[in-house]
């Protein structure tokens, strides 16, 4: 399986993602934002970080970079595109995903492990995962998912919510909402479920000696789903 | 000519910065504040002397980059 990770100026989770993808069997290539063409890929990842210093709105500049034409075409033809953290912000700014990520509700940068619930498994990312509650890391200042009422209706009707913030038992109450996101939304899909954006970082949970291995479960399952 | 654009948050979008500024103003003794909403202001020097065309160019910029229409409105002002 071939993957590509896009590096924008200011990306800082691109190498972590490269390590994670290679560890679980992907042949990963790093792609510079100024390139025009994506290499042949089964999965394209937009990594976390602070592309363009978060100027104007997080992800807004990166969403207009040269490589994004190719990424948008790839996504529109059904290719798998996953955006983590800043990558999620870039996906909403590019129009591939609905909504927007606002400043966290209490205006603080949040950096901690959280529990997230994944019960939407009719998609290539989460199909065959054998549990629902995962411990992932979040680190963001703008992760407060927002969309219009009409968008929310459509998102729910199409089963596009991918990941919810929750507690260790999978309860998705406001108490376990770190940033004020509508309905505890931590990640969403496009209608077709080939584009996934989420704030939590699975690539930071791939080694017991770092902070846990729930990310390993995700990546192992993902590559198996794509084979 | 220089065209200005003001970007503001839509009514139903939470503006925590505006809230904190409001609270601080109250703390400073400005008691007559109903609400504070924070926005963005751009001055763009466009190589175009026709005001309608110049505004049109900046409007296109607002739609495509300067504003995110999910959460923001824009207003264009011709300055000189």
Residue A180 belongs to a domain with what CATH number?
A: 3.40.50.880
pLDDT attached to residue B77: 92
CB pair distance less than 8 Å for A100 and B70: yes
pLDDT for the residue A198:
98
> What's the pLDDT at B78?
80
Please check the confidence at residue B80 and state whether its pLDDT lies above 80.
no
User: What residues make up the domain containing B48?
Assistant: 2-78
- Tell me which of B7, B9, B11, B14 to substitute to probe the interface with A (most A C-beta atoms closer than 10 Å): B14
Substitution target from B7, B65, B74 for chain A, most A beta carbons within 10 A: B65
* Domain containing residue A206: 2-226
Distance from CA of B72 to the nearest CA of A (A): 11
Residues of A in contact with B66 (CB under 8 A): 56
pLDDT of residue A173: 96
* A146 closest CB neighbour out of B20, B65, B71: B71
Q: How far is A221 from chain B (nearest CA, A)?
A: 34
Per-residue confidence band for A57, with pLDDT thresholds at 50, 70 and 90: very high
Which residue among A98, A100, A180 places its CB closest to the CB of B71? A100
- Model pLDDT, residue A211: 82
Q: How confident is the model at residue A210 (pLDDT cuts 50, 70, 90)?
A: confident
Q: Is any Cβ of chain B less than 8 angstroms from the Cβ of A99? A: yes
Tell me if chain A has a CB within 8 Å of the CB of B7. no
Chain A's closest residue to B42, CA to CA, is A56
3-state secondary structure chain A: CEEEEEECCCECCHHHHHHHHHHCCCEEEEEECCCCCCCCCCEEEECCECHHHHCCCCCCCHHHCHHHHHHHHHHHCCCEEEEECHHHHHHHHHCCCCCEEECCCCCCCEEEEEEEECCCCCCCCCCCCCCCEEEEEEEECCCEEECCHHHHHHHHHCCCEEEEEECCCCCCCHHHCCCCCHHHEEEEECCCCCEEEECCEHHHCCECCCCECHHHHHHHHHHHHHC
Express as a percent the part of chain B with pLDDT over 70: 99
pLDDT class of A123 with cuts at 50, 70, 90: very high
Supply the ipTM of this predicted assembly. 0.83
pLDDT of residue B79: 77
What is the percent of chain B with per-residue pLDDT over 90, rounded to a whole number?
A: 88
How many domains in chain A? Answer: 1
Say yes or no to pLDDT of A222 above 80.
yes
Asked if residue B12 has pLDDT above 90, the reply is no
Condensed to tens digits (0 to 9), the pLDDT of residues A11-38 reads 999 999 999 999 999 999 999 999 999 9
pLDDT in tens, A130-184: 999 999 999 999 999 999 999 999 999 999 999 999 999 999 999 999 999 999 9
Q: Into how many domains does chain B fold?
A: 1
Rounded distance between C-alpha atoms, residue A54 and residue B2, angstroms = 26
Instruction: Please state, for a pLDDT cut of 90, what percent of chain A lies above it.
Output: 98
* Pick from A50, A67, A90, A69: nearest CA to A196: A90
CATH number at residue B52: 3.30.1280.10
- Residue range B27-55, pLDDT digits in tens: 999 999 999 999 999 999 999 999 999 99
**pLDDT score, position A72:** 98
Compute the count of residue pairs across chains A and B with CB atoms less than 8 Å apart.
32
pLDDT > 70: what percent of chain A?
100
Q: Is the pLDDT of residue A42 over 80?
A: yes
Residue B16: its pLDDT value, please? 87
Confidence of residue A99 (pLDDT cuts 50, 70, 90): very high
Interface with B, mutate which of A94, A101, A102 (most B CBs under 10 A) = A102
pLDDT at A74 over 80: yes
């Amino acid at each position: 399986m071939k993957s590509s990770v896009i590096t924008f100026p200011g990306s800082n989770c691109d190498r972590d993602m490269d390590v994670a993808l290679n560890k679980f069997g992907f042949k990963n290539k790093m792609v510079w934002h100024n390139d025009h063409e994506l290499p042949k890929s089964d999965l394209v990842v937009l990594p976390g970080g602070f592309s363009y210093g978060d100027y104007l709105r997080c992800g807004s500049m990166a969403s207009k970079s040269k490589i994004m034409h190719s990424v948008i075409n790839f996504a529109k033809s059904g290719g798998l595109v996953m955006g983590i953290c800043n990558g999620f912000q870039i996906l909403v700014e590019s129009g591939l995903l609905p909504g927007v990520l606002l400043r966290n509700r209490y205006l603080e940068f949040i950096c901690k492990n959280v529990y997230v619930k994944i019960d939407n498994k009719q998609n290539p990312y989460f199909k065959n995962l054998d549990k629902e509650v995962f411990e992932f890391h979040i680190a963001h200042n703008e992760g407060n998912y927002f969309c219009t009422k009409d968008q929310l209706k459509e998102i729910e009707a199409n089963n596009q919510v991918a990941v919810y913030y929750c507690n260790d038992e999978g309860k998705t109450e406001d108490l376990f909402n770190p940033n004020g996101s509508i309905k505890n939304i931590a990640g969403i899909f496009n209608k077709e479920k080939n584009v996934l954006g989420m704030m939590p970082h699975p690539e930071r949970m791939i080694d017991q000696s770092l902070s846990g291995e729930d990310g390993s479960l995700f990546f192992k399952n993902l590559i198996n789903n794509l084979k | 000519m220089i065209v200005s654009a003001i970007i503001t948050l839509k009514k139903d979008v939470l503006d925590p910065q505006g809230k904190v500024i409001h609270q601080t103003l109250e703390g400073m003794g400005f008691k007559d504040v109903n609400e504070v909403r924070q926005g963005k202001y751009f001055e763009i020097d466009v190589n175009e002397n026709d005001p309608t065309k110049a505004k049109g160019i900046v409007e296109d910029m607002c739609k495509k980059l300067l504003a995110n229409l999910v959460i923001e409105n824009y207003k264009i002002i011709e300055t000189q």
